[in-house]
Structure 1
Amino acid sequence: MTPIRRSGGKTEIAVAGPWTLIWLKFVRHKVAVVAGVLILVMYLIAAFAEFLAPALPEAAKPQFTYAPPQDIALFVTEADGSLSWMPHVKGYKQTVDPASLKRTFTIDADKIVPIGFFVEGPGYKLWGLIPMDVHLMGPLKSGDTMYLLGTDKLGRDLLTRLIYGTRVSMSIGLIGVAISLCLGVVLGSISGFYGGWVDLGIQRVIEVISSMPTIPLWLGLAAAVPLTWSPLQVYFVITLIVSLFGWTGLAREVRGRFFALRSDDFVTAARLDGSSERRLIFRHILPSLTSHILAVVTLALPTMIVAETALSFLGIGLKAPVVSWGVLLQEAQNVRTIATAPWLLIWPAGAVVLTVLSYNFLGDGLRDAADPYEN
């Protein structure tokens, strides 16, 4: 229904553009909106990881190996029985088995570790450029410990490493999908628009790539990465490996839509009007595939994240000192470790599951909003 405004005795018809209509339909999809907010929060965490993390990812305290998570309490009980506002965590009690030398932690209810916001801590460079030493949250006293999600086998703070891993795992999805999107849209458009031997050649390449078993191929490509390469170089190589096998599905779908649309009346009219082939592809046909491309992209992002997580978990992707969700899950390969410190599996796996579900819900909402036939 078209909105009508009356001003000064005149009737005006308010016409909304296509992107405005897509936005108005999208905000009615409450689950998709919540999913979009969660994904935005994830990327904000990735952007400000150094500031949000209470410590440095490689800072280790062996005396706190496999320390359990600490709960945040907001009030303390004074001597007169009243409650006083003071965010804090309870300290640890340690006992060491003299025979096995196994260290066991219990929460010490009598030891209070005050925590605060915008506290000074270990120095870092924000985005690798700005020297800072202020952290969003941390213990007020130097030397106190705060492990809200527990620690790993080297006594490193899991919350800090999970925040730093968000940057790597979320960005590898964006870069991988960007490469796959360019390859899929360009080659699919050319294949569907021209047909003939061009289409035949592109489709045979797609079939060869699609027929390759991914895990053995990933193993081979990852084994070919020189050990002398820096973590940054390995990061981009793994991104390239993941994206090289993610564009074939989109290319085939775009090709099929081009076959269906290239003989429509609006394309014929644009051709008769003198539009070039490049303009026909990118100005007239591709914009009509917006809803489909949006859905495919939002569904491809979690696929990329899961692929990186799986590669790193198997030990053929990113490796230490790079921190990603897959690298964190490597420690969950040992059943004894999971029994001793289940938080090493729960939190990284939970981050992956939450991100994948959020992208799927967001993709459903964008697809429905951009579909011109959806009410």
Structure 2
Amino acid sequence: MTKREYVSISKVYPNDGQIEGLPKNPRLIKGERFRKLCKSIKELPEMTEARDILVYPYNGGYIVIGGNMRLHAYRHLGWKEVPCCILPEGMPVEKLRQMLIQDNNPFGETDWDMIANEWDSKELDDWGFEVWQEPEQKYSEPSLEEQQEEESEEDIEKTDFYDMMLGDRIYDSNNDFDIPNLRADEQPVSGLVIPLSAWGADTRQKKGISTYHFYVEDYRFEAIWKDPTTVLNSGCEAVIEPNLSLFDTTPVAYGLHQIYKKRWISRYWQECGVKVWADLNVAKKFQKWNRLGIPDGYNAFATRGYSDRQEYLKEEIQIAREISGKDIPNMIVYGGGDKIKDICVQNSIIYVEQFMANRIKKGD
């Protein structure tokens, strides 16, 4: 039997393919359409009250089967609870697949003459209803010029959407310093998605990079504080949190500010659909401060390995165990050589070799 109840939004996860055999939700919404959806929810809350999100119990929370786009809108609007219709546990995946696709199936046809006669087009457009439909056309391969124009429009649309999401906002926090919490439902679940690349290592932004890390000189990524959408527009699936240079001589007040910035930007990226590995690579002085904003149970960590600081790595692995509650945490170690690699192997941690591009001077 299904049941209806209000559920904490932190326990409702978008369908990103977590359930084996259940594909990701095929619906997308962005840009102007997303803005109109949010506007509609704000102006007509009664509609939300009468329309539950269809969810399935999973891992202590709930996976959305129908209502992914509304969930994103509720999160953007700062909702704490959402009305859910909860499916019974043990339902066959085949049934869930059928529900997922039927929820996105537009049965019936629209009487466009009635729409034109009974409704005002400006009003319909304001509500996000698509009035005009283009006639079907035979497909032809676009020219290079058309492809470039289409890509440019897509980048603009993405930037508009991310700018709208950016704004001035305060995220939920588990500490007295208001350092934002990372979202447990937007963390890499298992393994590193490659290719992995250092942010700013190339003269221009590459496409096709799945995961970016920031274990580079600070100057390479200073610009992301001003515009974090550049990382999003790269199309990456995941990021390792920006790694800031925090030394034992760094004042605590300044260090807390740096940790706040990296957690805020990481949370913002998560809100836009990018998975985040929590960075543990800080000086010993800041290890306890660096845990702020990483919720208990979070299980995606990264650090940089140093051949002369093996004890640091062992301490960071222990921190990952304490936070995740796992003997073998989901963790990446970047570089450090054979000694660091041996520690990773002994602890079943992912080791990634550090690749350096050697610049050759002319005439050498």
Q: TM-score range by the shorter chain?
A: under 0.3
Q: Which has the higher helix share?
A: 1
Compute the TM-score of the two structures, normalised by the length of structure 1. Answer: 0.24
Compute the TM-score of the two structures, normalised by the length of structure 2. Answer: 0.25
Larger C-alpha radius of gyration, 1 or 2?
A: 1
Structure ranking higher on relative contact order (CA contacts 8 Å, 6+ apart):
1
